[in-house]
Amino acid sequence: MSWSDPARRFEPAEDVQLRAELRDLLGLGPGRAPSEVEPTPELKALAEDLRREAQRRSRTQRKRPTWGLLAAAALPLLAALAGLGGWGVQQKHRADDLAAQTLRQEQELTRLVASHSTELAMERQAKAEVQQQLQLASRKGNRKNEPFLVIPVGAPLKVTGDDYQRVKQDPQH
């Protein structure tokens, strides 16, 4: 169907505007009706080129804003996800370090408990040996070979009257 065909009823506004611009460019003006002037093949080819260009531009303009809008909406979301990912990695490192520190402390406590229990066992064994030796010595009745520490005292200490001083006087005097 030709662009100058008066049988067009439903025509987009873009096509009407393009046809009006083409009429102005060709010098036909708005006063002349399309039926008065018979279009030449050159005009038909030019009109078809203009129509194709208008369709191409309308198709490309509709697609372009969609991607830009999606990209603009996705940028803050991606930034938030990256921030949360970095924070999560940092928290995991902290948790791993804390777990390793706790494990080292538990190992140190286990080592200390083991060494303390061996020391206690050795002390108990030494006490048991001393008690056995004391029991053997008391059964023999040999007083000179006793393992007790004895401090020899020559005479008991005596308190003489010159060694003390009266602080209070008797209430009777």
Cβ(137)–Cβ(147) under 8 Å?
yes
Q: Higher-confidence residue: 42 or 139?
A: 42
Structure tokens at 81: 């996800």
Q: Higher-confidence residue: 43 or 6?
A: 43
> Between the ranges 21-35, 48-62, 129-143, where is the mean pLDDT highest?
48-62
Q: Is the pLDDT of residue 144 over 60?
A: no
Structure tokens at 91: 């928290």
Q: Is the pLDDT of residue 145 over 60?
A: no
Cβ(79)–Cβ(42) under 8 Å?
no
Structure tokens at 73: 């909406």
Q: Is the pLDDT of residue 154 over 90?
A: no
User: What does the domain layout of the chain look like in residue ranges?
Assistant: 77-135
Q: How confident is the model over 91-132, as pLDDT tens digits?
A: 999 999 999 999 999 999 999 999 999 999 999 999 999 988
Residue 3's pLDDT band (boundaries 50, 70, 90)? Answer: low
Q: How far is CA 43 from the centre of its chain?
A: 69
Pick the closest to residue 49 from 96, 10, 3 (CA basis): 3
Q: Is the pLDDT of residue 153 over 70?
A: no
Pick the closest to residue 39 from 28, 53, 29, 31 (CA basis): 28
Pick the closest to residue 2 from 36, 53, 48, 46 (CA basis): 48
Quote the percentage of the chain above a pLDDT of 70: 71
Residue 44's pLDDT band (boundaries 50, 70, 90)? Answer: confident
